[in-house]
Structure 1
Amino acid sequence: MESLSENVRAQQQALGKQKYDLSKWKYSELRDAINTSCDIELLEACRQEFHRRLKVYHAWKAKNRKRTTMDENERAPKSVMEAATKAPPLIQPKHEITTAQHRYFRIPFMRANAPENTKRGLWYAHFDGQWIARQMELHADKPPILLIAGIDDMQMCELSLEETGLTRKRGAEILEIEFNREWEKNGGKPYKNLGSQIL
């Protein structure tokens, strides 16, 4: 099993090979670059840095949260978050920058602090390339939760598709039509690529 220091070294090596080092950029500079740049490689580097910062923020928030509120604001099912801690850091192949593939997933999950009869639910995710574009949570006894990248980022799963392990989870991937049917049935508007903008 890899230690934490080996993971950190692997991530630093991956950063060393990238064309852009955005770790020192202010949030406003990152946002402006995402909203105005036409450089595909810069946009992908900005998206990776944005999601890296979201991970750091959520890790800090989880560390400093009171135990009584634990799992109250889950952004993804526990199995997805656990898969990310076990997965080695990945270096993104260059061809993924120019070709975004839309993939759709549905997995059942159990919410930790819900009453016994309301624990089961369905978690849906639409990935545009490596990053989540839309996320939906359905429960029988409460309104659906529909989230869109670029608008609801703080409540969404911040992990890349590869980190989630969803592609290796048997029966998790669904067709686009299945996702869109549930999305629209629950009040979601047709998908427009808003995920590349950060407000």
Structure 2
Amino acid sequence: MLPPCNAPSVDPTILQDELNLQSEIERQEESRRLAAAEQERRDRELALRIARSEGELVSEETTPTEAPLLRRTQQVQSQQAIQAPKKYDLSKWKYAELRDTINTSCDIELLEACREEFHRRLKVYHAWKAKNRKRNDEEQQRAPRAITEHAEHVGASKGLLVPVTRQCAVEIKAQRYFRIPFIRPSDHYKELQTKKGWWYAHFDGQWIARQMELHPDKPPVLLIAGKDDTEMCELSLNETGLTRKQGAEILSRQFEEVWEQCGGLEYLKRAVESRQARPTHATAKLQHRLR
């Protein structure tokens, strides 16, 4: 008869430690899942609120299959919120609180954090709006396709949105001006020489301060930060790829000449007087000019 085989004994303390470790891993995974779900819920509520304030007709039911673009945007942003520890948690701030802080705060770090959160929410809103737009509505482009497609390509290839440099938070922000061809969707079937328009942008640091669209046989479209946020390009300068586009950057005087010819000075002045314009380099320059 063979002698009984005695299995090696396992220290119960080691077993308990392994169980505790596994439980902790599962708890952290569940916590991340709940945080992502909560962020998605907040983003959807935000999109609905902004849409209602814009007078849009909204769908109360937005399923994942109906809105893949919105879902993808939310997942990326939720992942960012989880992975990147931030000094300020602005996820529960109301839209009006962010806007008022941007307009009045002297805290540079808080101001920059509010700008990032504000534009993050604009991205969510525009992604939602793109899927809920009625089929017969004319597509409303806030920037030429070359810019939005570049942002989508970079975001998809990296799995994350392009990070915004914080260097401008402690230095004087660079003022940069751009001009590129712009053809609206409704003009795609017209003759080339009659449909080509121009898109102008003034970036105050990483975020757009003024935007201008010039199209043949149409009045110029003037937009300024604060008053026209939902109609403007919501991407950061890094995300647009404009700085790497050959021939896109122009001098400030070239932008200002066209801006003033199209009535931009008066438009900005009215917005400043009615407290609708967000404080930017352009508003400060105008106020200094009017003194």
* Contact 2:122/2:234 (<8 A) preserved: yes
Q: Which amino acid aligns with 2:91?
A: S
Match of 1:84 in 2: 151
CA distance in 1, matches of 2:134, 2:201: 28
**1:75-113: per-residue Cα shift (whole Å, max 9, x none)?**
111111111111242333332212311000000021111
* Contact 2:195/2:216 (<8 A) preserved: no
* Contact 2:211/2:222 (<8 A) preserved: yes
Match of 2:115 in 1: 47
CA distance in 2, matches of 1:57, 1:138: 25
Match of 2:190 in 1: 116
Match of 1:69 in 2: 137
Structure 2: any 5+ residue segments left out of the alignment? 1-71, 156-160, 281-291
For the pair 1:60 / 2:132, whether they are aligned, the reply is no
Q: Which amino acid aligns with 2:178?
A: F
Of 8, 12, 22, the match for 2:90: 22
CA distance in 2, matches of 1:94, 1:7: 20
Q: Which amino acid aligns with 2:89?
A: D
| Correspondence 1:164-179 to 2 at 5 A | 164-179=240-255
| Correspondence 1:95-114 to 2 at 5 A | 95-99=167-171, 100-114=173-187
Match of 1:161 in 2: 237
Structure 1: any 5+ residue segments left out of the alignment? none
Match of 1:185 in 2: 261
Which structure would you say has the larger RCO, counting Cα contacts within 8 Å and 6 or more residues apart? Answer: 1
Of 201, 214, 225, the match for 1:138: 214
CA distance in 2, matches of 1:31, 1:38: 14
* Contact 1:122/1:139 (<8 A) preserved: yes
For the pair 1:126 / 2:198, whether they are aligned, the reply is no
* Contact 2:143/2:233 (<8 A) preserved: yes
Secondary structure of the equivalent of 1:106? strand
Give TM-score, length-normalised by structure 1: 0.86
Give TM-score, length-normalised by structure 2: 0.60
Aligned residues: 192
Secondary structure of the equivalent of 2:179? strand
Q: Which has the higher strand share?
A: 1
- What RMSD in Å do the two structures reach over aligned CA positions? 2.4
Secondary structure of the equivalent of 1:12? helix
